A and B are shown apart, each in its own frame.
Chain A
Amino acid sequence: MRAINMPRDGLPVTTARDMARDESIGQQFTLKTEVVIVGSGAGGAMTAYELAKAGRQVLVLEAGRYHPSSLFTEHLGDTMTEVYRDQATQFNTTADVLFAEGACVGGSTVIGACVMQMPPDSLLRRWETELGLSNLAPARFKPLLDEVGKEQYLHLNEAHEINTTAHKVIQGCERMGFSWKPVSRNVRQCALTGHCLAGCPSDRKMSSLVTHLPWAVAHGARLMADTEVTRVLISNGRAYGVEAVVRDPDTGRKIADLRVEADVVVAAGGAIQTPLLLQRSQIPDPSGQVGKNMAVQPFVQVLARFKEELHGFRGALVGVEIDHFVENEGYMFFSALAEPEQLMIQGNQGAGADHIRFMKSYKHLAGLNAFAIDEGRGEVTWKGGLEDGRKVISWNPSRSEFEKLKHGAALAARVFFAAGAEEVFIPSFQQISATSVFDLDPALDEISYGVRGLYSLRINSFSAHGTCRMGVDRYQAVANARGEVYDVKGLFIADASLIPEPMPSAPHWTVQALAKQVAQGINQRSRELFLS
């Protein structure tokens, strides 16, 4: 009989500081376990829970720091400093597209906006019939999604969770005849602080920090933070562990080199970090697709100024979505308004009186994020050696993606004008606004594609996916339908990099269901996979 000790608050995490204090740990040490999981975000935490629950010895290694919820200050600048990847400066090569990502225990689930979207049935059917991925057929995959939904306290926003920004979007949609609905979120008893992106100090957001990680720990999983896996150990076509470096998160000082020997390795660092790990590990890669096909779900934020005071930054951060354009045109729209410091980073600001006017109208602003489904042409590459190399994220909009984003911005602007906006601010590197719907097209015409869309629209990405895609053909895909990397037995992927192609919904929910499926598959093959 195993004792199940569920931590009611926080997590027992071994940190770099703990290791530095422990004199029994030298500068190099080795651990043995059955499963080592690289990354503790949506996919890693789910996999850890499922495998630990099945009685496996599980060790989760997280490169980022452990930042308990109780330490969140609700100051976005603080959170960005401590738990965002590269202190929120993970950019593409031209530094005009930000790839926001969590780098902490719990990963991006800690800093997400709680938006959960079910992948459309049509997409699952396509993956089943056209890509041959029968494991993703609605009949097999939707029960997993339902299970995740239950674990995540998923619910449609209720009336009190729809703030004034969202009400303006609803008003605009009603006048334009666009379909909208409350957003589905993974939060219990939301306190309506509006600080989702800065982490939830009262543990209402159902991040991995308060769900699958403590549940995994309850079933015996161990967690180490500040531990960056540098490569997967592979011999004769089989993964047998990982090498990692433990660093003090504040000083960067190396504390120790760690080697973990394991029967099963699960890469779950997300769509940007996982392909980098596989490249550093020099896996066989018969398809040549590791790091390629990256879909980024680029989005732009359109702001609108209304006559009345809205205080649109108060209440639940994301209230409603416009679902009118998802199936046919590939757009998603979510209401949200950033805090002042973030507005300075994300939007182009005028000089002098213009800027003062803009900020004086902050309480009159509403925001709408326009996401476009992209072509999945991005690439993540590790350049250089294991020790001194660096990541390179290559994505700039193609001309058609640029036009699509611009059209998305135009649609968002029209929704706000229909709701009575006095001025709409276009998300570009130039300072452009329109004061009526009649000025909109000329204003948008000022934004040209130029060279590779460089410094044209202000684009961000929160949800990269597809960089180690799942598929049935080893010459087209990186992992098979079980999530196991082709030609490397015992190496599995359980994160957004598995998603087979660009998807028209926020990937969080899909990632968790995929990870659950991968973990259950590992459990089913335990006799074959667990040598010990």
Chain B
Amino acid sequence: MPTAKEPSRDQSDQAAARQVTAPLAAVTRRRFMKGVLLGSAGLAVAAGGTFAVLRRSPVDQQPVPEGIRHLSQSEYHLFRRAIDVLLPLAGSALTPVAEVPVLANIDAMIGTLPAHIRKDVASGLMLFDNAAVVSGWHGRRFVDLDDADAVAYFDRWSRGSVIQRTMNTVIKQFVYVSYWRDPKTWPPVEFDGPVSDRWGIAYLGNAPLPEEADA
């Protein structure tokens, strides 16, 4: 009998990335929406550019760790901030973020995306980060918002336009899927994960032929 095997990490990352970015892929398949996304991203940068001083962020100077292969510098910092904001685990019994390679998982998932979706994800992330300068009059990029403002920003985008709702969903799903797919996160919520081996469940094999079962 063959023994259990897991799909390769790349295949698993690819599947997760496809699920997470599916809403964005659908939105940008429509030419009009793609135009809106690219236009909005450009506009956000331009508007932010008007307030160039406000657009600068201290994190722009911080390096990206060596292991990160697919995220750009600004994307890395955006996700790092998103993880802090979306998974405030300090003081809870849940598995600390430090014990789960959330950013590395996101980076790997991003690396499996086809080029055209990757480009749309980049535009969407740029829009999400820069639009905070003008959207909600924060006067700062998302990466520089304090925790309360950042949560409020997510909440506002969850009720916004189709593109805002989509990017809110995509970013949250990248973060949450990258965290919760790791079996280390399951014991604190008492999810058992795979149990058949642990419980010693017997393997029954194929069902007997109906004519045999009748006999």
Contact = CB atoms under 8 A, between A and B. Distances in A.
Interface in A40-68: 68
Contacts of B93: 360
Interface in B4-62: 4-8, 11-12, 14-16, 18-20, 22-23, 25-27, 29
A395 interface: no
A70 B185 CA distance: 25
A345 B178 CA distance: 11
A344 B176 contact: yes
Contact of A351 (B5, B155, B162): B155
A285 interface: no
A151 interface: yes
Contacts of B116: none
B204 A188 contact: yes
A321 B151 CA distance: 38
B190 A202 contact: no
B192 interface: yes
A356 B151 contact: no
Interface stretch (A208-216, A230-238, A402-410, A461-469): A208-216
A95 B207 contact: no
A430 interface: yes
Contacts of A194: 192
Interface residues of B, number: 70
A315 B15 CA distance: 27
A7 B206 contact: yes
A8 B12 contact: no
B26 to A, nearest CB: 3
Contact of A210 (B26, B92, B185, B206): B206
Nearest to B203: A202
Contacts of A339: 191
B57 to A, nearest CB: 20
A116 to B, nearest CB: 15
A82 interface: yes
B180 A6 contact: no
B194 interface: yes
Contacts of B94: 356, 359-360
B2 A429 contact: no
A345 B1 contact: no
A363 interface: yes
Given A191-B199, A430-B159, A250 B11 contact: yes
A74 B206 contact: no
A215 B162 contact: no
B203 A203 contact: yes
B5 A96 contact: no
A248 B208 CA distance: 32
B177 interface: yes
Contacts of B100: none
Interface string B160-190: 0010011001001100110011010110011
B210 A356 contact: no
Nearest to A429: B165
A68 B212 CA distance: 23
Contact of B14 (A81, A344, A350, A454): A81
Identify the 3 closest CB pairs spanning chains A and B, nearest first: A95-B26, A74-B194, A87-B15
Given A210-B207, A311-B190, A348-B169, 5 more contacts: A6-B208, A81-B16, A214-B206, A340-B185, A356-B92
Interface of B: 1-8, 11-12, 14-16, 18-20, 22-23, 25-27, 29, 85-89, 92-94, 147, 150-151, 154-155, 158-159, 162, 165-166, 169, 172-173, 176-177, 180-181, 183, 185-186, 189-196, 199, 201-210, 212
